Amino acid sequence: MIVSASSSIRCSFASSSTVSLRPLRYAVLGAGFAGLSVAWHLLKNSHKELNLSIDIFDEVGIGGGASGVSGGLLHPYSPKVKLLWRGAECWKECLTLLSVAEKAAVSKDSKFEFGESDQGFGSFIVRKRGILRPATSMKNLNVLYDNAQNCDPSCRIETIDEEVAQDLVPKISVSFNSAFYMPQAVNVHPLRYLQALFLACEILVKELSTSSHGKKELYLHKQSTQRLIELEGEYDAVIICLGAKADMLPELSGRLPLRTCRGVIAHLQLPDNIREEYPDCAPSILSDAWLAVQGTRSLYMGSTWEWKSRNSSPNVSADEAAKALQELLPKVSAFYPGIKDWTFTGARAGLRAMPPLTPQGSLPLLGCVDDFVGDNCTCKFWLFGGLGSRGLLYHAWLGNLMSQAVLSGNERFIPAELTSWKRINR
């Protein structure tokens, strides 16, 4: 496969004494949470002496899919169950990768060009103000109480009454006089984070190539892959991180137990004639709908759930935006009546790939899928998908495990519950 220099971003450094090991070539399809996590960990976990080249393919670019328009509310809990499956491990690994991205964003070496998607790092990547969770029903209240009693120390949950909640967020309405505050939870700006994570990959390429004998290369190609078989023989491994678009590849179409769901996120701002701002120190809010605070006069509100949609465009029509507001505003008004003062300024959408429900919950789909592509494959094909609405939480830890599986050519690094879908659907 030949890609012209004008359609790709290249980061290539070689040490003066590169050893004569056969270079490994990996293709990562998708530049969202999964794809960039895999790329980072392939570089981080590869042997120092290894000659390694990674091609990342995404027709839109960094964060062009559902990852780039997600809400970014990060914590390891579920409103329906206790701590999520491997929630503590995923939470800690994600915080580590967020720190890597933040350091890259402020690095003195940050002189790489991102292209059209670049918005700079002038605003936050991680907003560390916590998340507030009002109870919505007696059943929900009991689950949240249980979570608070059995929370992980690295992301504790405090039970507070309405008065304390209003000290955090003025005008908030709290049913049952109970709300749950996660002071260590964070709000991530997904697009800025993904841009910074790609930058971290570029910096790591430079560091590894100048400090060892191995040559490291990283390329970002703004183009799509129509068929997996096109990559046969080109790469030592192909890692499919395309989210809902994975099912659109002919080799995988109809063979993945995924459900698609389109979600619309609305952007709201306070008009200039409203003096009272959202407090800078106040947390974001998570309930039947959520508010991801972007600043004292800017926030994102989400999200809708349109099941079985095949529309992966981030663009939202006027009719779709109106329906989203009609659905979301009553839910938000129930806990934050002050939303009536905010003005709608636009909306974006993402198509999520929702995994099937298992005894452990809704778990992502991972594993080698050579059998899906053909019996005569000479390259290893891997799937990292079905992250659903929890891609931000899962992507770092699972990206690490996936990289180890790919580098070793062995699924044993992946928990069996994440590969069991292949046996069930075979």
Q: DSSP letters along 216-283, please?
A: EEEEEE----S-GGGGTTT-SEEEE--GGGGGGSTTTTTTS--EEEEEEEEEEE--TT---PPPTTPP
- Token pair 């914590």 is found at 75
The single-letter code of the amino acid at 1 is M
Q: Any long-range contacts for 208-212 (C-beta under 8 Å, 24+ apart)?
A: 208/43, 208/48, 209/13, 209/14, 209/15, 210/13, 210/15, 211/15, 211/48, 212/15, 212/48, 212/49
Number of neighbours of residue 426 by Cβ within 10 angstroms: 8
Residue 355 DSSP label: P
Q: Return d(Cα 293, Cα 409) in angstroms, integer.
A: 42
The pTM (predicted TM-score) of the whole model is 0.92
Helix (H) or strand (E) holding 159: strand 158-160
Strand-strand pairing, 361-362 and 357-358: antiparallel
Return the structure tokens found at 121: 């790092």
State the architecture of 24-68+190-256+357-423 in CATH terms. Answer: 3-Layer(aba) Sandwich (3.40)
Return the structure tokens found at 22: 């056969």
8 A C-beta contact, residue 172 and residue 336: yes
Q: Provide the pLDDT for residue 374.
A: 79
- Common-topology check for domains 24-68+190-256+357-423 and 260-354: no
Q: Provide the pLDDT for residue 11.
A: 57
List b or e across 92-112, with b for residues whose CB sees 16 or more CB atoms inside 10 angstroms: ebbbebbebbbebbeeeeeee
Q: Provide the pLDDT for residue 317.
A: 97
Q: Provide the pLDDT for residue 213.
A: 73
Q: Provide the pLDDT for residue 15.
A: 42
pLDDT per residue, tens digit, the chain (426 aa), is 333 333 455 555 444 344 445 789 999 999 999 999 999 999 999 988 899 999 999 999 999 999 999 999 999 987 665 678 899 999 999 999 999 999 999 885 444 444 333 344 457 999 999 999 998 888 888 888 888 888 888 999 999 999 999 999 998 999 999 999 999 999 999 999 999 999 999 999 999 988 777 899 999 999 999 999 889 889 999 999 999 999 999 999 999 999 999 999 999 999 999 999 999 999 999 999 999 999 999 999 999 999 999 999 999 999 999 999 999 999 999 999 999 999 999 999 999 999 998 888 889 999 999 999 876 776 799 999 999 999 999 999 999 999 999 999 999 999 999 999 987 755
Instruction: Say which residues have a Cβ less than 8 Å from residue 141's Cβ, sequence separation at least 6.
Output: 135, 176, 178
Return the structure tokens found at 194: 């993904």
Q: Provide the pLDDT for residue 82.
A: 64
What residues does each domain of the chain span? 24-68+190-256+357-423, 73-107+125-188, 260-354
Q: Return d(Cα 38, Cα 396) in angstroms, integer.
A: 8
Which numeric CATH code is attached to 260-354?
A: 3.30.9.10
The single-letter code of the amino acid at 103 is K
Triad 148, 152, 156: Cα angle to 5°: 55
The single-letter code of the amino acid at 189 is H
Backbone angles phi, psi at 373, to 5 degrees: -90, -35
8 A C-beta contact, residue 53 and residue 411: no
Q: Provide the pLDDT for residue 396.
A: 98
The distance of Cα 405 from the centroid of its chain, to the nearest Å, equals: 20
8 A C-beta contact, residue 315 and residue 349: yes
Q: Return d(Cα 197, Cα 194) in angstroms, integer.
A: 5
Q: Return d(Cα 347, Cα 325) in angstroms, integer.
A: 10
